[in-house]
Amino acid sequence: MNLSWMAWTTPTAIFFVVIFVLIAAMCVWEYFSPGGGPRVGILRFETTRGDRLFLSLLGSAFIHLAWLLFMGPDLWKALGVAMVYAVLVFILV
């Protein structure tokens, strides 16, 4: 398969591997603890683990895009902000 049309760099590969690992981990977690752990958090509607993962990934994408727009291409600090955001989503939402 010729994938030369896409810029397969190391960060790109890491990104997709991390997404795959997160989804696989959520599948294993769901297998051993079915139901998704629904709860009502600060958003005042019921969310499951999968919902919180989706919100974490979506918010992280927006954090990185805003960082690129306002701060420039050094994304390591944006990664730290995104990870703190993800932890807060899983705790509070």
Q: 60-85 pLDDT, tens per residue?
A: 999 999 999 999 988 889 999 999 99
Domain span at residue 26? 10-92
- What pLDDT score does 3 carry? 65
For 22-57, write each residue's pLDDT tens digit: 999 999 998 998 887 789 999 899 999 889 999 999
In a domain, 59, yes or no: yes
| Tally of domains within the chain | 1
Is 68 inside any structural domain?
A: yes
**Is pTM beyond 0.85 here?**
no
Spell 42-73 as b/e; 16+ CB within 10 A means b: eeeeebebebbbebbbebbeebeeebeeeeee
